[in-house]
Amino acid sequence: MRIHTYTPKEINEIIKKLSIFFDTVRIVNPSECREMLVTDEGVNYVGCCYSVWDKNSRCVNCTSYCSYQAGTRLSKIESNCQVVSVPVRLTYPKMEDITCVVEMVINLDKAAGRMTGNQTAKVSYHGAQTAGKEKADYRIISSSLNHLENGIICFDEEGEPIFANGAAHRYFGSGSDLQALGDSFKNWIHPEAFKGDENKWRQVLMTKDSPYHFEVTYHRLRDDEGGVTGSYYLISDKSNEFKTFDAKHYLSTHDPLTRIYNRTGFYEGARELLDLFPEERYLIIFADIKDFKLVNDLFSIEKGNEVLMKMASALSACCEAGKDICGRISGDRFALCIRESHYDEKELINRFDRISGIIDSDFYKLFVHAGLYAVTDNTMPVSIMSDRARLAQKRIKNEGCSCITRFDEAMMEETLHEKAIINMFDRALAERQIKLYLQPQVSAAGRILGAEALARWVHPEQGMIYPGEFIDILERHGLIYKLDQYMWERAAEQLYAWKGTAMDGLYISVNISAKDVYYLDLYKTFTDLIKRYDLNPYLLKLEFTETAIMSDVDKYVALLSRLQRCGFEIEIDDFGSGYSSLSVLKDICADVLKIDMSFLNETQNTERNRIILDAIIQMSKGLGMPTVSEGVETKEQVEKMSRLGCDIFQGYYFAKPMHAEAFVERFRSSNQIQKSTN
């Protein structure tokens, strides 16, 4: 099931409509067991969601929590109610999306009443004919009730106790004194109990031995005319059930390995702390162990478990019982909710460093990287607070030590920008907002040979969005293959449009990202393009980076050989930027070598740079591979590379990337075009 996204206005309209058909419709955050009030400004919590079931903690197998975790609609019977839970996503323009659950409830008793005309049974008393008969009846009823495991206490219309069975006396330790039991019971009973003619709730009775967990059912008795004749209470001992539930709840909220909270327990516990101590400023810290998988792989799972337990101990040592908590969110990811006044960053990093000492190895060093979010709005879902701390943690790249970085609003702006790019991307492809730009590639004699295809996003409202603003985002989110496939199609269209014109014979080089090979059948994709547009494959040159090739050499060797046999030319892009350049040339029979533009930058070792460039170009010639120098910006650079023997040039010195139409307009009447002879 796809989780649908709604604005606050849309979700409130939906709830209004659903309320016509259900007895209760509400929005809940199941991870924190909280009912939510949705406004245009954000969400407010209005109480524990389980209170509607007369419970004081999370329901076992909570329907809404299971729906939230599974991302699908679920339904079940809960406390004589039919509960339907549907996960949804709330979207706000200036904050992260919030995943929650719309919970719809039908009271089955009310539904049955509606089906039978809503008839209500009356309670009446069948009077005895004689005093002797009345006493006999009383003894029979009293004896029967005393055999019940549940306690029963009856009161007359004045509120005085008139009967209590043995279980009730046993619960309240009153011996046989009915009046004392009545007084104890009325002092203990919840003040809300007497509202209405019926009520049911749970309440704890503390005794010197142990607490009793009771479920109390209250009924007011009336005669045929509606007058009050008395009341009775049925008291059910749920202590064993509570202990069972408590054990299940512990298992559902705690990590079995480290014995600290799991994700569910941490979210619940942090929410409770934020509600209990609103005057305190809390910090949420998200931490994980860098390259933890290597611990299991190199040193054994047992050593990995030891590291995890030490991590849990280190975080637990930072917590004061009842005021701070920590949890293992998943795998090697941990979280800490701690008061700012109690937080000592230097001490926490020292604890992380002591964990590092568990692994004694020259080839692996254990570090803990953590992100910190200072809570400014206690009503924000704990899951979002944790996401912000994690966002800060993910900004730590290759630090060779344990460290902590703080979340700031710049990260939030970056996240919102990233979210906006992702949300707009599919529409941009559908509406062709992303344009084909071409940057000419020129021979040493100054003649146009072809061009490299480059993406430029022209948004109808925001204007030009340059590659630096969206390429990395698409790569991180696994969407770059969609952009690449789209650009290949545009390039093929352009080559087809040039057929029979002055531009016919110019080639277009297209980029292939490292992950494309995992998402697409590249051989089928490119051969289909050539067939569909009736193109010479030589005119659609395929650029692979050396980094991509070295990620899976065997796979690329087989793929590139197949493509070359079909007539495609293979270019190795950014040659010299990686650590394995010579190995690439050994394993891959490429057709063209593009020299990384960093070689054109000024350095203190100009002569060394010249010697390396000369070696690359001469080696390329020896392998029968033309060289392309990209990023050329000055005449001096052109002359320098020409003297070294470079064959093709690309850069601002000749032309900036331009829209395909502008490219045609500029060069179609030029005598500088050198068409391919293949």
Question: What's the gap between Cα 47 and its chain centre?
Answer: 25
Task: Tell whether 525 and 594 lie within a shared domain.
Answer: yes
Rounded to an integer, what distance in angstroms lies between the CA atom of residue 372 and that of residue 374?
Answer: 7
Number of domains into which the chain is organized: 4
Among 115, 145, 160, which residue terminates a domain?
115
Whole-model pTM? 0.58
Asked which of 103-107, 299-303, 603-607 is least confident by mean pLDDT, the reply is 603-607
Mean pLDDT of 423-443: 95
Nearest CA to 508 among 489, 495, 521?
495
Q: Is residue 129 a part of any domain in this protein?
A: no
Report CA-CA distances (Å) from 391 to 285, 289, 394, 651: 11, 15, 5, 37
Contacts of 265 (CB under 8 A, 6+ apart): 252, 253, 254, 327
pLDDT in tens, 538-580: 999 999 987 788 777 888 888 999 999 999 999 988 776 554 4
Task: Tell whether 529 and 662 lie within a shared domain.
Answer: yes
Backbone angles phi, psi at 130, to 5 degrees: -140, 160
Q: Is residue 656 a part of any domain in this protein?
A: yes
Q: Is residue 444 a part of any domain in this protein?
A: yes
Q: Is residue 632 a part of any domain in this protein?
A: yes
Q: Say what percent of the chain tops pLDDT 70.
A: 85
Task: Tell whether 217 and 366 lie within a shared domain.
Answer: no
Rounded to an integer, what distance in angstroms lies between the CA atom of residue 104 and that of residue 81?
Answer: 10
Q: Is residue 542 a part of any domain in this protein?
A: yes
Contacts of 308 (CB under 8 A, 6+ apart): 257, 258, 328, 332
**Helix, strand, coil proportions of the chain in percent (round to 5)?**
40, 25, 30
Task: Tell whether 41 and 60 lie within a shared domain.
Answer: yes
pLDDT reported for residue 490: 97
pLDDT reported for residue 670: 66
Q: Is residue 252 a part of any domain in this protein?
A: no
Residues spanned by the domain of 173: 136-242
Task: Tell whether 145 and 198 lie within a shared domain.
Answer: yes
Task: Tell whether 149 and 293 lie within a shared domain.
Answer: no
Task: Tell whether 227 and 275 lie within a shared domain.
Answer: no
- Report which of residues 80 and 666 the model is more confident about: 666
pLDDT reported for residue 675: 64
Nearest CA to 156 among 250, 63, 55, 227?
227
- Burial per residue of 475-505, b for 16 or more beta-carbon CB atoms within 10 angstroms, e otherwise: eeeebbbbbbbbbbbbbbebbeebeeeebeb
Q: Is residue 186 a part of any domain in this protein?
A: yes
Task: Tell whether 493 and 551 lie within a shared domain.
Answer: yes
- Looking up residue 366, the CATH number of its domain turns out to be 3.30.70.270
Given a cut of 60, is residue 657 above it in pLDDT? Answer: yes
pLDDT in tens, 356-375: 888 877 778 889 999 999 99
- Average pLDDT over the chain, rounded to whole? 83
Task: Tell whether 644 and 546 lie within a shared domain.
Answer: yes
Q: Say what percent of the chain tops pLDDT 90.
A: 35
pLDDT reported for residue 108: 59
Task: Tell whether 487 and 630 lie within a shared domain.
Answer: yes
pLDDT in tens, 208-262: 777 778 888 888 888 888 888 888 888 888 777 766 656 677 778 888 899 899 9
Given a cut of 60, is residue 627 above it in pLDDT? Answer: yes
Q: Is residue 127 a part of any domain in this protein?
A: no
Task: Tell whether 176 and 267 lie within a shared domain.
Answer: no
